[in-house]
Amino acid sequence: MRKRTVYLDHNATTPLHPEVKKTLIKSMKAFGNPSSLHKFGREARALVEKAREEIASFIGAQHEEIIFVGSGSEANNSVVNILYCPAWKGCVGQGGLAKKRRIITTKIEHPCVLESVACVEAAGIGVTYLEVDGYGKIKLEQFKEELGKGDVALVSVMMANNEIGTIQDIKGICEITHQHGALFHTDAVQAVGKLPVDVAELGVDYLSFSAHKIYGPKGIGCLYIRKGAPFCPFIRGGHQERGRRAGTENTLGIIGFAKAIQMRRLEMQAETRRLLSLKKRLRDGIVKNIADVSFNGHPEDSLAGTLNVSFAAAEGEAILLYLDMEGIAVSTGSACASGSLEPSHVLLAAGTPQEKAHGSIRISMGRDTTKDDMDYVIGRLTGVIRKVRGISSVQGDAKYE
């Protein structure tokens, strides 16, 4: 088979949808500041508000319940920040939560949640990190027990995991949270646009998502804040977003976001079915051709396009390198900007042994992925794993001693 380029890192980011690209190009001339009172401002404002309707209604929210932010990470930071903010006392005091000074989250959250939680922890707020089972699902017994202590202000659990794809029962977790009088946030960056998400149905207080994971532009995220839920702005100094997020609106980003959402409405269902069959093809091919493999994450409650696989006696970073040489883009570990190559905290939390976690890669498919891509990957991966397993034995070779 001829060498080709196969992008299989859609959980990191996605290419722009061609329709989004068209819309963006068309909208480039709308330069006005949406806050301005003149014609230019009004035109930009109209575009932003139209987009807001589109996006809010997609997740079952009212238009005033969502704010635009710079990224999914900012959305998540903004929610955790509520606890840290001195204004929290005021907001929560009114709700009778003044003595509640603890946050519950999980060990498998995205670093933007874990690190902002660690920051409020340093400021004296209690934090509990929930364990997950072998599939990456949170342990409800531990969760209820922790909530029962009665001092929890906020629970943050991600809807779908970026590394292993496991989907949590957010509705159930949220219900339990509310029974104990705490607020609930979910990081739905990997979920919105990939599976049906309806905030009214779920009952969540906060929900974060972002455009570039679903074929929209980068640099634009969205935070749902249920009407009546306490909130303190993370970025201050402007009346934008009803005073909840200062800064001139990223008009183009917002327009592109809305278009991406619009395309999701049309394509999501069929694409999910297609991705599931591609994933099965890939998984079967790997099992058939490569020995000593195991798959991470939940077998059913999982993102349609995400496959996380461990190869025994192989290093993930070497696999990634070789696949890159073959034109195949996947990721290993959490692939964050620090380039840190610690074994994935998600896999370790799910009880994957260190060695196995080191030999894991994440393959995440998207709307451009084809059957031929899968067959190409199966072929190349088979050869790459053979080579990489060879390297592991080279480690013990005395040739260069």
Tell me phi and psi for residue 200, to 5 degrees: -70, -45
Q: How far is the CB of 81 from other proteins (least distance, A)?
A: 20
The two tokens of residue 85 are 């903010």
Q: How far is the CB of 125 from other proteins (least distance, A)?
A: 21
What DSSP state is assigned to residue 168? P
Q: How far is the CB of 87 from other proteins (least distance, A)?
A: 28
Helices 251-289 and 39-58, packing angle to 10 deg: 30
The two tokens of residue 358 are 């080191």
Q: How far is the CB of 114 from other proteins (least distance, A)?
A: 15
Q: Which is nearer to other proteins, 82 or 385 (CB)?
A: 385
Q: How far is the CB of 362 from other proteins (least distance, A)?
A: 16
The three state secondary structure string of 288-356 is: HHCCCEEEECCCCCECCCEEEEEECCCCHHHHHHHHHHCCEECECCCCCCCCCCCCCHHHHHCCCCHHH
Q: Which of 85, 119, 174, 336 is catalytic?
A: 336
Shortest CA distance to 184 belongs to which of 176, 192, 193, 196? Answer: 176
Bridge partners for 369 per DSSP: none
Q: Which is nearer to other proteins, 293 or 391 (CB)?
A: 391
Residue 390 near other proteins by CB under 8 A: yes
Helices 371-394 and 316-325, packing angle to 10 deg: 130
Residue 123 near other proteins by CB under 8 A: no
Residue 1 near other proteins by CB under 8 A: no
- In whole angstroms, what is the distance from residue 352 CA to residue 208 CA? 28
- 3-state DSSP call for residue 156? strand
- In whole angstroms, what is the distance from residue 367 CA to residue 18 CA? 11
Q: Which is nearer to other proteins, 300 or 397 (CB)?
A: 397
Q: How far is the CB of 325 from other proteins (least distance, A)?
A: 8
Q: Decide if 336 is catalytic.
A: yes
Amino acid of residue 245: R
- In whole angstroms, what is the distance from residue 352 CA to residue 161 CA? 16
* Residue written as token pair 């890939």: 282
Shortest CA distance to 80 belongs to which of 5, 27, 155, 174? Answer: 155
Q: How far is the CB of 198 from other proteins (least distance, A)?
A: 39
Site string for other proteins, 172-201 (x = CB under 8 A): ------------------------------
- In whole angstroms, what is the distance from residue 14 CA to residue 263 CA? 14
Q: How far is the CB of 282 from other proteins (least distance, A)?
A: 24
Shortest CA distance to 104 belongs to which of 85, 92, 121? Answer: 121
* Residue written as token pair 């219900």: 175
- 3-state DSSP call for residue 114? helix
Binding to other proteins in span 313-372, by CB under 8 A: 317-318, 320-322, 324, 337-342
Tell me phi and psi for residue 223, to 5 degrees: -125, 125
Residue 290 near other proteins by CB under 8 A: no
The two tokens of residue 164 are 């292993």
Contact by Cβ (8 Å): 154, 178: no
Q: Which residues are catalytic?
A: 336
Residues of this chain that bind other proteins (CB under 8 A) = 317-318, 320-322, 324, 337-342, 390-391, 394-395, 397, 399-400
